[in-house]
Structure 1
């Protein structure tokens, strides 16, 4: 059964005869007759009485509402796809890691809302692994996550680098390690830490670094909120390895100390990820371009302001 067969059937019902239906459809009468005959063969029943006007048989009468419904559903589907391709998208769903949602996304969301005021933005904070999973499952349109080797092997993923940031150490002000001039990874061997929960890219990155150094990562507590990290470390017994984006605002907190780690300096790359089909949709494409431009500008200003002055 094909759509044009259903359309031919409905055209004959509306016109009352084959000739006028053919004219309305812009085809020959023989063509529309063949379409109906093929439809009848597929259904296994006659749809019209063939003498006089095209009067529906009992089977044709029963089939009529179903044919109308199928064609209506098809028309709605066509319209929705056309609107999608022309940018008439009702919502855009984004998932991002905590630091990106807190510090990088707000200006992007504001700019996008001005350009696409009729698109409802939905933002969810997730770990990198979970964000990529829901993107692959089609539940979101864009993920802002930590880069991983998995992304390079997935053909359907479109990956746009956004920025790199240093992983630094957050300590309570009275912690013994604050007295050392230069901190290395060996200083954290067996040191009790608060870490991100499993499934967060930063947790995996830190664990891999400890493994490479032949050191033990003492995970005393797991969290998934940046504000919770700050509160726990302030209690005075635990330290945490966190991104510089978050730690920059804690420089004036007298109860906390931010220190860099050496040998080596650990960094992570943050990327924007969508899929090859979604990037063709105008609102999604525009969001991706905005994110790249705004974050690039932000990072340039950030490094200029943090650079030492002569």
Structure 2
């Protein structure tokens, strides 16, 4: 089996589209189709079911996929070892989220830009289920998660830190000067980012255990903070994202501690052999995040 055929098969199997695979591999679609057919001919079996405009893996394709990924990963590792490159190099597609990209990752991105310029980082903003699925499918090499659970099916994770949360409001809010219970919160105007953020979903579940609640959604953390500072309501956000506003007094922290704990994690597909530049990214991420908390 030729390596290039396995690379093409793995890409088509990951994105389940000949057209998208061709675009990502910079091939003509006819080349992708031809290479898959050549691999099927070599193996004497079909690897994809063609269902009109859609495709899916056959049982043979499902069995081949993990082997193809291992062969590709070993090939990349062997190439790097033989080259003996002193400087780490390669591309990493990393799933991340606004709260980390804007508030925790800048020192890491700066480090790689200046010290490891041959490591090309492609950041993709997704959260929760989307990130986990992209990791399992191989679309992402690594992904950041901010979740309560630390065990995820089909993934390996490195827990980086507990992520403190802060319930914030504008100065002078009626809840700022007295003990606050969950019962007080269900009576307030609640502000949030989009559904899918673990802290928003856990907060909603906690409040809904007492009474139905509705959130006014502002999409981004920055917009949510501005709305809270303008007196439109209260919001639960990662502490790191509101540290500047708490320091300058444009927001105040309400005296309520969430009954759940989030942990920032870095994850990758279980069984995946991380190449040297990916291991470097994991090591440096662990070091820099530990210095921030």
* Superposition TM-score, scaled by structure 2 size: 0.66
| Equivalent residue, structure 1, for 2:129 | 129
Structure showing greater Rg: 1
1:288 aligns with 2:282: yes
Deviations 1:72-98 (A, max 9, x none): xxxx99976643677875311112222
1:221-269 Cα deviation digits (max 9, x unpaired): 123311111111122131101111112111234442122314x554311
Q: Which runs of 5+ in 2 are unaligned?
A: 3-40, 43-71
Aligned to 1:298: 292
Q: Residue 249 of structure 1 corresponds to which residue in structure 2?
A: 244
Q: 3-state SS of the aligned residue for 1:99? A: helix
Alignment match, 2:145: 145
Quote the offset at 1:117 in angstroms. Answer: 1.6
Give the deviation of 1:172 after TM superposition: 1.5
Contact 2:185/2:207 (<8 A) preserved? no
User: Does 2:197 match 1:197?
Assistant: no
Shift of 1:184: 2.0
Q: Is the 8 A contact 1:116 1:283 kept in 2?
A: no
Q: Check the 8 A contact 1:108/1:294 in 2, yes or no.
A: yes
User: Are positions 1:94 and 2:94 aligned together?
Assistant: yes
Higher helix share: 1
Secondary structure class of the residue paired with 1:159? strand
State how far apart, in whole Å, the 1-side matches of 2:259 and 2:75 are. Answer: 53
Identify unmatched segments of 5+ residues in structure 1: 4-41, 44-75, 300-310
Structure 1 274/78 Cα, relative in aligned 2: closer, same or farther at 3 Å? closer
Partner residue of 1:224 out of 216, 219, 224: 219
Aligned match of 1:185: 182
Aligned length: 222
Q: Name the SS for the 2:112 alignment partner.
A: helix
- Contact 2:156–2:268 (8 Å) recurs in 1: yes
* Structure 1: distance between partners of 2:214 and 2:278: 39
After superposition, the C-alpha distances for 1:25-64 in whole angstroms (9 at most, x for unaligned) are xxxxxxxxxxxxxxxxx99xxxxxxxxxxxxxxxxxxxxx
Separation in 2, partners of 1:277, 1:77? 11
Residues 1:237 and 1:279: Cα distance change in structure 2 (over 3 Å): same
Does residue 83 of the first structure (1) align with residue 79 of the second (2)? yes
- TM-score for the superposition, normalised by structure 1: 0.63
Equivalent residue for 2:174, pick from 173, 176, 188? 176
- Map Cα deviations across residues 150-207 of structure 1 (whole Å, 9 max, x no partner): x6251x3111011112222111223221232x22222102312112222221222212
Match of 1:73 in 2: none
RMSD of aligned Cα (Å): 3.0
